A = this chain, B = another copy of it.
C-alpha cells in the first residue's frame, strides 16, 4: 500500500484529516493572495520545468494507475484520458507556460469614484482564497486547475478521480516543490485524494474553509456536487446544445456549421446534440445537411417528418431530446416555426449554447433575446463556445449557471472583488 500513502504525509502529520489540510490551505492562501505576479510566475515557470524533469517518476505512477484501471475494467475512453506519455507531459508544461503568460487579474480596479464628501472608493479584484476542485481521473486537470488557481492567487484543494490517484500524487508533489522553490508555501496546493470519497464529502461540507468549489467532469459528477455541496459551486459543463435552421437559413452555412458542430469533436460539451429545422425549409435543407453528417458516420435520430425526407435514420425517442450524446449521434426534428423552436429549446436546453442559422434579422434578434443560455449565436458553429476561442487563454470550464460567471471562464472568473475605502476622517451625516 505504499502507493496510497498521502502525499502531504511526507511533510506534515500523517494523522491529520481533511479539515487540517483545509486549514493549512487557508493559512497558505494569505501568502498567495498578496504575492506579486512575478513571484507567481516564477512558481509556474518552476512547475513547467520540474514537471518535465519528473517525467520518469510521473509515468511510472501513471503506469500503476493504468494497470489498476485495466484490472478494474475501465472503459477504453477513460483509460485514454488517464494515460500520460512523454509528449503529454510536455504538453502539461506548455499549458502551464500559457497560464503564466496570462494577465494577472489580481489587483485590477473595476470601478471607482470619489464620493461627494471626499472619500475615495475602489472595487478591486482579489483572489477567492481557497478554491476546491472535484474532478474525474484526468491528470491534466490536476496541473491545469493548480496552475489557474496559482495564477489567480488562490490556494487550491484537489480531489481527482481515484483511478488517477498515483499519477496525481506525483503531480501534486511536483507542484508543491515548485511553490517552495519560488518561496511560496507548499500548503497552497493540497490533495485529499488519499481520503477517497470522504475527501470529496468533507470538501463539499467545508463552508468557511473553502470559498468556491469547481466540479469538472461528467454531468452526473457535477449534479452530485451541486446537490450535496454546502460550499458555493460554480457549475460547469453539460451541454444539450441546439442549432435551429430557420426558414431562411443558407444551405451552405447550414451544411457546414451543423457538420462542424457535430463532427469536429463530438465528445465535448459545445458539440451540437439536436438540430431543429423550420417546416418550410426542411425539404430544401435536410438532404444536404444530413447527407454531410451521414458521410462522416453520424447516426441520425429523426422524428417522423425528418425520416420522411431522408432515408437511413433511426427513430428518435423522447429521451433523445434530453440527451447529451457526446458521440456521433444527433437528434433532428422539424418544428412549425421559430416559436416552436424556442419552446423546444426552453424545455430541453441545459443553458450552454444555442445557435440560429438565418438570414432574417428579426428572427436572429428574437433568438438572441429570448434564448436563456450562456452563449447564444447567430450563423456560427457552437464549437466557438470556448475560453481559448474567446481569447481568454486557458479555460477553467464553461459555466452554465447564472451566478458569478456564465459561459467560458478564465482566470478572472477565479477571483472575487473587495471595496477599498480611503478617507481623511469622514463620518456619516
Question: Which residues of A approach B to under 8 Å, CB–CB?
Answer: 30, 33-34, 113, 115, 119, 121, 123, 126, 128-129, 207, 211-212, 226-227, 230, 232, 234, 250, 252-253, 256-257, 259-261, 264, 355, 364, 368-370, 372-381, 383-385, 389-391, 401-404, 406-408, 416-428
A-B interface, 3 closest residue pairs, ranked by CB to CB distance from nearest: A380-B423, A260-B427, A402-B416
**Interface pairs (17), CB distance under 8 Å:** A33-B369, A119-B384, A211-B403, A252-B425, A257-B427, A373-B418, A375-B421, A376-B420, A377-B422, A379-B422, A379-B423, A380-B421, A385-B421, A402-B416, A403-B403, A406-B416, A407-B418
Chain B nearest Cβ from A346, distance in angstroms: 8
CB–CB A406/B425 < 8 A: no
Q: Which listed residue, B374, B389, B426, touches A380 by the CB 8 Å rule? A: B426
CB-nearest residue of chain B relative to A26? B346
Residue from the set A370, A385, A425 with the largest chain B CB neighbour count within 10 Å:
A425
The answer on a CB contact under 8 Å between B375 and A260 is no
Bound-state CA distance A338–B378 (Å) is 56
A425-B253 CB under 8 A given contacts A390-B121, A416-B403: yes
Q: Are A428 and B381 in contact (CB under 8 A)?
A: yes
CA distance A420 to B368 in the complex (A): 7
Q: Which of A369, A370, A385 has the most B CB atoms < 10 Å from its CB?
A: A369
Q: For the complex formed, measure the closest distance between the CB of A428 and the CB atoms of chain B, giving whole angstroms.
A: 4
Residues from chain B with a CB closer than 8 A to the CB of A402 are: 128-129, 211-212, 232, 416
Across-interface contacts of A380 in B (CB, < 8 A) = 119, 421-423, 425-426
Interface contact B407-A419, CB-CB below 8 Å: yes
Closest chain B residue to A256, Cβ basis: B427
| Extra 9 A-B pairs, beta carbons < 8 Å, given A34-B370, A373-B418, A383-B427 | A232-B401, A260-B428, A264-B427, A368-B420, A380-B421, A389-B428, A403-B416, A407-B419, A408-B419
Copies of this chain? 2
**In the complex, A376 Cα to B128 Cα: how many Å?**
16
Docked-complex contact B372 and A129, CB < 8 angstroms:
yes
Q: How far is the CA of A379 from the CA of B211 in the complex (A)?
A: 29
The docked-state distance in angstroms from the alpha carbon of A150 to that of B383 is 35
Kindly list chain B residues whose C-beta atoms are within 8 Å of the C-beta of A128.
402
A418: chain B residues within 8 A (beta carbon) = 372-376, 406-407
Residues of B contacting A378 with CB < 8 Å?
420-423
User: Among B211, B230, B370, B424, which residue has its beta carbon within 8 angstroms of that of A227?
Assistant: B230
Question: Within the assembled complex, what's the spacing in Å between the Cα atoms of A113 and B378?
Answer: 15
Q: Which residues of B contact A364 (CB under 8 A)?
A: 422
Instruction: Please tell me if the beta carbons of B232 and A423 are within 8 angstroms of each other in the complex.
Output: no
Given the known A-B contacts A380-B422, A381-B426, A427-B256, are A403 and B115 also in contact in the complex, defined by CB atoms under 8 Å? no
B403 touches A370 (CB 8 A): no
Taking the closest CB of chain B, its distance from the CB of A292, in whole angstroms, is 12
Q: Bound complex: CA of A261 vs CA of B234, how far in Å?
A: 36
Closest Cβ–Cβ distance, residue A153 to chain B (whole Å): 11
Which residues of B are found within 8 Å of A407, using beta-carbon distances?
A: 123, 417-419
B375 with A419: CB separation less than 8 A: yes
Q: Which of B34, B234, B381, B426 contacts A427, CB < 8 Å?
A: B381
Residues of B within 8 A of A420 (CB): 368, 375-378
| Contact call B426/A384, Cβ cutoff below 8 A | yes
Measured CB to CB, the closest approach of chain B to A24, in angstroms, equals 15
User: Chain B residues near A129 (CB, 8 Å)?
Assistant: 372, 402
Flag if A379 contacts B113 (CB, 8 Å): no
Which residue, A207, A369, A380, A404, has most C-beta atoms of chain B within 10 A? A380
Residues of B within 8 A of A403 (CB): 211-212, 232, 234, 403-404, 416
Q: Which residues of B contact A427 (CB under 8 A)?
A: 256-257, 259-261, 264, 381, 383
Complex CA–CA separation, A322 to B375 (angstroms): 44
Option from B226, B261, B391 in Cβ contact (under 8 Å) with A113: B391
Q: Would you call A384 and B428 a contact (CB within 8 A)?
A: yes
